[in-house]
């Protein structure tokens, strides 16, 4: 070993040896521990393999994806997985081993297999879900009662996220005039701070539970839609234990994160979350309108029934009224008999009055005549005749009246076959005036009989 | 002063109860008119809750955010 090599010569020997020894491309499984895209579009990574404890590193190597390849691989990977290439992600890549005299060993990535990453993510998700299930908490948030009116909303998001703006616009501009109250609790929605941030936000809401109806986790739109930040055991566990229903709109088309799975309701976009909340309000209002209509209909029905009942009562009343009327008739005939008696008395008095009046008139006239002697003889004659005709007239009227009253006289009424019933001298006009064992007197035209009520 | 908070859920269950009673047909006209009046008042309050802003809540929410 006398030959001395320059460093470059050595590096070139290594380079050539590696090239000869490892001429092919290899599929390699690794985890990204660092990744950055530089100004000219090349992507530099550090790949690692960890021990089973997931902390200590077993091996490490630099890697690069040249810009021409990176442009394609980046979108290919993102489209397939919904994830961007980022640290912490496990990938399967096809690499060529290169050695550079200045930069040393690195793996040049030519291809990537997104299905491996998808499988890895699904596996991780499954592990978290299994753990939550084993703990018996998996569906706890889903089991909560959802408020009829989800009006007071705690939003976990970042203010500048397009998703939050969409959500607010959609919710506050709803076509129905529903009022929503929104408190935004800001937190990073991706990156390493996601876990701690979301949990802190949930804790803050938990401190004011009575002020909220529902909690919403949204982020939005954009190309950066790394779902796996929400495939997080701690966030998921906290949600299962959260006393308010949680709705997610994390904005992922393809898959559900663990956070989505444990939430009360998961929707694809923040706009869909807003729609969901508005829909709840519509259902509540429709329920009100339905009940209101039902109450009106039922009440009208009851009123209609009452009207029908009143009408039928009226119809039933007619025979009752008839009976009453015949009762009244009897009563009336009694009253008429009374009236006749009274009338007779008046007539008798009336008969006396003209006689009395006549004698007074005559004597009065006489004394008048004796004072005014002959000049008044003519007048006396005419006065006398007038007086006489007046008296005759009166007498005639009285006779007519007497005659007509005779027909109505109870005696005559009795003669026509009617009887008068009395109890203790009082005329009985109604059945109710009598009770059992009363001794009643029945007057016929030719006399009376007594009888006992049985 | 603590204003007693109007509960939509409670109001709705009260309206439901009134409706049930009306449906049972065991209600005379006087009660019916009282209950219908009560129900319409509750419905009015519920509608108001859905559609008019309570400044009190707005203020609380401003402090929270």
Q: Which residue from A73, A80, A85 is spatially nearest to A112, judged by alpha carbons?
A: A73
A253 falls within a domain:
yes
| Rounded average pLDDT over A183-205 | 91
pLDDT band at A227 (very low <50, low <70, confident <90, very high): confident
SS3 (DSSP) at A126: helix
Question: Are A270 and A141 in a shared domain?
Answer: yes
Q: Mean pLDDT in chain A?
A: 83
Interface of B with A in 34-63 (CB under 8 A): 36, 39-40, 43, 46-47, 49-54, 57-58, 60-61
Residue A445 lies in a domain: yes
Distance between first and last Cα of chain B: 24
Judge whether residue A105 has pLDDT over 80: yes
Whether residues A148 and A184 share a domain: the answer is yes
- From chain A, pick out residues whose CB is under 8 angstroms from the CB of B12: 148, 284, 287-288, 291
> Token pair for residue B30?
């006087």
Report the number of distinct structural domains present in chain A.
3
Question: Nearest-CA residue of chain B relative to A209?
Answer: B64
pLDDT at A261: 93
Whether the predicted pLDDT of A46 surpasses 90 = yes
Residues 120-149 of A with CB under 8 A from B: 147-149
**Which residues in A167-237 belong to E strands, given as ranges?**
181-186, 214-218
Task: Name the residue of chain A whose CA is nearest to B55's CA.
Answer: A181
Q: What torsion, rounded to 10 degrees, do the Cα atoms A287, A288, A291, A295 define?
A: -170
- Among B39, B50, B65, select the one facing A281 at the smallest CB separation: B50
The answer to whether residue A435 is domain-embedded is yes
| CB contact B9 to A (< 8 Å) | yes
Contact (CB, 8 A) for A410 and A341: yes
Per CB-CB distance under 8 Å, the chain B contacts of A302 are 22, 25, 27, 29, 32
* Residue B4 domain flag: no
In a domain, A306, yes or no: no
Cβ B50–A178 below 8 Å, yes or no? yes
Task: Determine the average pLDDT of the residues in A220-247.
Answer: 83
Shortest alpha-carbon distance between residue A428 and chain B (Å): 42
What's CA A443's distance to the chain center, in Å? 78
Strands (E), A119-209: 152-157, 181-186
Q: Which residue has 């009452």 as its token pair?
A: A306
Mean pLDDT of A173-197: 90
Residue linked to tokens 């003889």: A377
Are A157 and A106 in a shared domain? Answer: no
* Model pLDDT, residue A18: 93
| A387 in any annotated domain | no
Q: Quote the pLDDT of residue A331.
A: 75
Band of pLDDT at residue A224, cut at 50, 70 and 90: very low
- Look up residue A102 and give its DSSP letter: T
Closest-CA distance of chain B to residue A41, Å: 40
In a domain, A297, yes or no: no
> Out of A148, A182, A288, whose CB is closest to B47?
A288
Q: What is the pLDDT of residues A357-380, one digit of tens each?
A: 555 555 555 555 555 555 545 555
- Partner B contacted by A298 (CB < 8 A): yes
**Which residues of chain A does B25 touch, with a Cβ-Cβ cutoff of 8 Å?**
302
A215-224, A237-246, B52-61: least confident range: A215-224
Domain boundary among A247, A262, A284: A284
The phi, psi pair for A311, rounded to 5°, reads: -60, -45
Among A284, A319, A343, residue at a domain's last position: A284
The residue written with tokens 């460093």 in the block is: A7
B1 part of a folded domain: no
The CA-based dihedral angle spanning residues A245, A251, A257, A260, taken in that order and rounded to the nearest 10 degrees: 10
How large a percentage of chain A has pLDDT more than 90?
48
Name every chain B residue with its beta carbon within 8 A of the beta carbon of A303. Answer: 29
Nearest to B51 among A154, A178, A306 (CB): A178
What is the pLDDT, as a whole number, of residue A223? 41
Chain-centroid distance of CA A91 in Å reads: 53
Do A237 and A155 belong to one domain? yes
Residue A446 in this model has a pLDDT that exceeds 50 = yes
Contact A267, A248 (CB under 8 A): yes
Q: From the candidates A148, A155, A158, which should be mutated to test the interface with B, based on the most B CB atoms within 10 A? A: A148
Per-residue pLDDT reduced to its tens digit, A274-321: 999 999 999 999 999 999 888 888 888 888 887 888 788 778 777 777
What residues pair up with A450 in beta bridges, in sequence order? A441
In percent, the amount of chain A with pLDDT more than 70 equals 80
Does the structure's ipTM exceed the value 0.95?
no
In a domain, B31, yes or no: yes
CATH code of the domain covering residue A11:
2.40.50.140
Whether the predicted pLDDT of A244 surpasses 70: yes
Cβ atoms of A29 and A58 closer than 8 Å: no
Whether B25 and A302 lie within 8 Å, measured CB to CB: yes
A135-139, A325-329, A348-352, B7-11, range with the lowest pLDDT? A348-352
- Could you tell me if A239 and A266 are in contact, meaning their C-beta atoms sit under 8 angstroms apart? no
Q: Do A262 and A236 contact (CB within 8 A), yes or no? A: yes
Question: Both A108 and A199 in a single domain?
Answer: no
The pLDDT value given to residue A184:
93
Q: Cα separation of A417 and A415, whole Å?
A: 5
Return the pLDDT at A182: 93
Please list the residues that pair with A441 across neighbouring strands: A422, A450
Number of domains into which chain B is organized: 1
Closest CB from A176, A281, A291 relative to B16: A291
pLDDT at A382 over 80: no
Residue B2 domain-assigned?
no
CB–CB of B9 and A294 under 8 A?
no
pLDDT reported for residue B5 = 67
What backbone torsions phi and psi does residue A63 show, to the nearest 5 degrees? Answer: -145, 160
| Contact (CB, 8 A) for A403 and A374 | no
In a domain, B34, yes or no: yes
Tell me the residue range of the domain where A243 lies. 130-284
Q: Tell me the per-residue pLDDT of A390-438, one tens digit each, with 9 for 90 and over.
A: 666 666 665 555 555 555 455 655 666 677 788 887 778 777 788 888 8
| Max avg pLDDT among A21-25, A328-332, A407-411, A444-448 | A21-25
The answer on A154 and A90 residing in a single domain is: no
- Could you tell me if A57 and A18 lie in one domain? yes
Which residues constitute the domain of residue B60? 9-64
Last residue of a domain, one of A284, A319, A354: A284
CA–CA dist B39, B20 (Å, integer) = 12
**pLDDT tens-place values along chain B, 65 residues long:** 344 567 898 999 999 999 898 888 777 778 888 888 888 889 889 999 998 888 888 888 887 76
Residues A72, A186, single domain; the answer is: no
Of A402, A399, A422, the residue nearest A412 (C-alpha):
A402
The pLDDT score that the predictor gives to residue B54 is 84
Please report the pLDDT score of residue A395 as a whole number: 63
Kindly state whether residues A229 and A147 are assigned to the same domain.
yes
* B-chain residue closest to A306, CA distance: B29
Q: Are residues A108 and A134 in the same domain?
A: no
Could you tell me the pLDDT band of residue A252, with boundaries at 50, 70 and 90? low
Q: Which residue has the higher pLDDT, A419 or A385?
A: A419
Taking a C-beta distance cutoff of 8 angstroms, is the pair A227, A255 a contact? yes
Flag whether A360 is in a domain: no
Contact yes or no for A302 and B32 at CB 8 A: yes
């Amino acid at each position: 070993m006398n030959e001395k090599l320059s460093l470059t010569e050595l590096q070139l020997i290594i380079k050539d040896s590696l090239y000869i020894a490892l001429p092919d491309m290899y599929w390699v499984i690794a985890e990204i521990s660092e990744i950055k895209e530089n100004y000219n579009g090349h992507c530099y990574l550090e790949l690692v393999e960890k021990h089973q404890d997931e902390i200590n590193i077993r091996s490490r190597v630099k890697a690069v994806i040249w810009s021409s390849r990176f442009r394609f691989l980046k979108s290919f990977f993102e489209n397939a997985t919904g994830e961007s290439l980022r640290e912490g992600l496990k990938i399967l890549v096809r690499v060529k081993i290169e050695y550079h005299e200045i930069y040393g060993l690195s793996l040049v990535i030519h291809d990537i297999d997104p299905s491996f990453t998808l499988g890895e993510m699904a596996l991780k998700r499954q592990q978290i879900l299994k753990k939550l299930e084993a703990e018996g908490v998996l569906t706890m948030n889903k089991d909560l009662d959802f408020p009829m009116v989800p009006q007071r909303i705690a939003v976990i998001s970042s203010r500048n996220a397009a998703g939050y703006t969409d959500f607010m616009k959609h919710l506050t501009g709803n076509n129905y005039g529903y009022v929503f109250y929104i408190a935004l609790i800001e937190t990073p929605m991706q990156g390493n701070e996601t876990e701690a941030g979301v949990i802190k936000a949930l804790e803050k809401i938990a401190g004011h539970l009575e002020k909220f109806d529902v909690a919403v986790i949204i982020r939005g739109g954009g190309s950066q839609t790394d779902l796996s930040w929400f495939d997080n055991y701690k966030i998921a566990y906290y949600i299962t234990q959260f006393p308010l229903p949680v709705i997610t709109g994390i904005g992922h088309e393809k898959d559900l994160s663990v956070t989505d799975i444990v939430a009360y309701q998961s929707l694809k976009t923040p706009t869909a979350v807003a729609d969901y909340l508005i829909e709840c309000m519509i259902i509540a209002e429709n329920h009100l309108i339905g009940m209101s209509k039902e109450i009106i209909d039922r009440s009208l029905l009851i009123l209609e029934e009452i009207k029908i009942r009143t009408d039928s009562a009226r119809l039933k009343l007619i025979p009752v009224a008839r009976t009453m009327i015949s009762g009244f008739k009897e009563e009336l005939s009694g009253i008429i008999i009374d009236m006749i008696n009274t009338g007779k008395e008046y007539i008798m008095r009336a008969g006396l009055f003209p006689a009395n009046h006549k004698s007074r008139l005559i004597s009065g006239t006489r004394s008048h005549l004796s004072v005014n002697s002959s000049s008044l003889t003519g007048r006396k004659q005419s006065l006398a005749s007038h007086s006489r005709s007046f008296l005759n007239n009166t007498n005639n009227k009285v006779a007519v009246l007497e005659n007509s009253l005779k027909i109505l006289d109870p005696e005559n009424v009795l003669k026509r076959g009617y009887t008068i019933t009395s109890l203790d001298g009082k005329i009985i006009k109604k059945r109710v005036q009598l009770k059992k064992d009363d001794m009643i007197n029945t007057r016929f035209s030719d006399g009376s009989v007594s009888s006992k009520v049985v | 002063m603590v204003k007693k908070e109007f509960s939509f859920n409670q109001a709705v269950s009260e309206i439901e109860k009134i409706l049930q009673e009306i449906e049972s047909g065991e209600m005379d006209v006087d009660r019916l008119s009282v209950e219908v009046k009560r129900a319409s008042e509750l419905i009015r309050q519920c509608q108001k809750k859905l559609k008019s802003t309570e400044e009190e809540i707005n203020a609380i929410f401003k402090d929270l955010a």
